[in-house]
Amino acid sequence: MEEVLRIENLSKTYKKKNNEVLAVKDISFKGYKGEILGMLGPNGSGKTTTVKSIVTIVEYDKGQIFVNGIDNKKHQNSVKQCIGAVLEGARNIYWRLTAKENLIYFAGLKGFGYKQIKDNLEYFLEKLELKDVANKQVREFSKGMQQKVAVACAFITSPKVVLLDEPTLGLDIETARNMQQWIKLIAKQQETFILITSHDMRFIENVCDRVLIIKEGSIIANDSVSDLKKYFMRKVYHILLEEDLLDEQKNNLEKGFRVRFEHTDKGHSIYLTLENDSYLYDIFEILGRKKQSIQSIEILNDDFEDVFLEILRRNGEKI
């Protein structure tokens, strides 16, 4: 695979009053043509600082960043030509411009004329369902529609590297699903490297080829979604009861196990993540104290959110 992004020993410290906060600590990773890389981590873990360092918004203290082989400290203007980005929602669009005008304007900032982006302009308006509102000012749009315009602006010049911060922000379920298919298609067709930060675990799981997990400014995992799930996945038991548990029973389960409770029209659900099936005997002993009627028991696969939490847990993160 051809390398288009390389980060070597990136470090950044912020000074706040009399204190110093180490936001990013000696981070190194690479990105490749056509790859979609997810970046996950708790709030304050260093994701935003890393992304803003790549796009030259943040001046980092140590390390090097190369975008398409270009040093982003020495040649900032050249690097900006290679990058498209959506940062912090839809703040990188102008509300008094139309959707079409935004696309033309942001392409123009990189030196691209209308004729150079005409085909992309029509394609993105069509694919992101913006064609019918192309000539409306984006201030009239919903948050989700504004987000789609912001994403289109990031891709309009066919950049080598695209950075997307929460690309599904404000989107309904159907639109978010369409967005994930579209992003996968663009990465393959245009051979673009796409770095995504998101709290939407299902989106990350369905879209990304590889995932970085960052904690306290350091990378604690760097692997494919499938391999991370293989290494960290455990059995989840779903027990459906007719009646709710007593507070005492819930407390006992919470003390000894990873457990989640849900109430629906079907009944009262208990979700238990177990490392050993023999723990089921202890669980049934707790349930037997009220003799709740069990409607069903099923084994589920750990979802990627559980895998993410487990990786943080094994690295000392309190969940």
Residue 266 sits in a domain whose CATH number is 3.30.70.120
Task: Let me know whether 107 and 245 are in one domain.
Answer: no
Share of the chain above pLDDT 90, in %: 60
Total domains, the chain: 2
- Among 123-127, 234-238, 310-314, 315-319, top mean pLDDT goes to 123-127
Task: Let me know whether 80 and 41 are in one domain.
Answer: yes
Total Cβ atoms within 10 A of residue 1: 10
Total Cβ atoms within 10 A of residue 258: 18
pLDDT of residue 153: 95
As a whole number of angstroms, the distance between CA 269 and CA 258 comes to: 14
Q: How confident is the model at residue 231 (pLDDT cuts 50, 70, 90)?
A: low
What integer is the mean pLDDT of 140-147?
91
Is there a domain that residue 309 lies in? no
Is there a domain that residue 312 lies in? no
Is there a domain that residue 316 lies in? no
**Closest Cα partner for 30 from 57, 1, 4?**
4
Our measurement of the distance from residue 100's CA atom to the centroid of its chain's CA atoms, rounded to an integer in Å, reads 27
pLDDT of residue 318: 45
Is there a domain that residue 311 lies in? no
pLDDT for residue 24 is more than 80:
yes
Is there a domain that residue 317 lies in? no
As a whole number of angstroms, the distance between CA 264 and CA 295 comes to: 13
Our measurement of the distance from residue 35's CA atom to the centroid of its chain's CA atoms, rounded to an integer in Å, reads 14
Mean confidence (pLDDT) of the chain: 89
* β-sheet with 210-215: strand ranges across: 83-86, 161-165, 193-197, 36-40, 210-215, 218-224
pLDDT for residue 317 is more than 90:
no
Task: Let me know whether 94 and 240 are in one domain.
Answer: no
**Closest Cα partner for 170 from 139, 147, 190?**
147
* Of 176, 196, 230, the domain-final residue: 230
pLDDT of residue 302: 61
pLDDT for residue 319 is more than 60:
no
* Of 205, 230, 255, the domain-final residue: 230
Is there a domain that residue 273 lies in? yes
As a whole number of angstroms, the distance between CA 163 and CA 185 comes to: 16
Task: Let me know whether 143 and 256 are in one domain.
Answer: no
Residue 238's domain comprises 234-301
Helices (runs of H) and strands (runs of E) counted in the chain: 11, 14
8 A C-beta contact, residue 305 and residue 198: no
The three-state secondary structure class of 88 is coil
pLDDT of residue 237: 87
8 A C-beta contact, residue 13 and residue 22: yes
What integer is the mean pLDDT of 176-185?
90
As a whole number of angstroms, the distance between CA 175 and CA 64 comes to: 37
Task: Let me know whether 201 and 64 are in one domain.
Answer: yes
Task: Let me know whether 32 and 122 are in one domain.
Answer: yes
Is there a domain that residue 54 lies in? yes
pLDDT of residue 56: 93
Q: Are strands 193-197 and 161-165 parallel, antiparallel or unpaired?
A: parallel
Task: Let me know whether 219 and 261 are in one domain.
Answer: no
Task: Let me know whether 10 and 155 are in one domain.
Answer: yes
Share of the chain above pLDDT 70, in %: 95
Task: Let me know whether 170 and 119 are in one domain.
Answer: yes
pLDDT for residue 143 is more than 50:
yes
Dump the DSSP string for 162-230: EEEESTTTT--HHHHHHHHHHHHHHHHHTT-EEEEE-S-HHHHHHH-SEEEEEETTEEEEEEEHHHHHH
Distances from the Cα of 250 to the Cα of 99, 238, 240, 246, angstroms: 52, 15, 14, 6
Task: Let me know whether 186 and 109 are in one domain.
Answer: yes
Q: How many residues does the chain have?
A: 319
pLDDT for residue 133 is more than 90:
yes
pLDDT for residue 315 is more than 80:
no
pLDDT for residue 252 is more than 50:
yes
* Of 209, 230, 251, the domain-final residue: 230
Among 65-79, 93-107, 139-153, 288-302, the least confident range: 288-302
pLDDT of residue 301: 66
Task: Let me know whether 156 and 24 are in one domain.
Answer: yes
Task: Let me know whether 218 and 242 are in one domain.
Answer: no
3-state helix, strand, coil in the chain (%, to 5): 40, 30, 30
Among 27-31, 64-68, 222-226, 251-255, the least confident range: 222-226
8 A C-beta contact, residue 135 and residue 125: no
pLDDT for residue 217 is more than 60:
yes
pLDDT for residue 42 is more than 90:
no
Query: For residue range 80-130, what is the model confidence (pLDDT) as tens digits?
Result: 999 999 987 546 799 999 999 999 999 999 999 999 999 999 999 999 999
**Closest Cα partner for 203 from 39, 34, 1, 29?**
39
Q: What CATH number should be reported for the domain holding residue 19?
A: 3.40.50.300
What integer is the mean pLDDT of 9-29?
92
As a whole number of angstroms, the distance between CA 257 and CA 19 comes to: 38
What integer is the mean pLDDT of 252-276?
88
pLDDT of residue 90: 47
End-to-end CA distance of the chain: 36
pLDDT of residue 135: 97
pLDDT of residue 234: 67
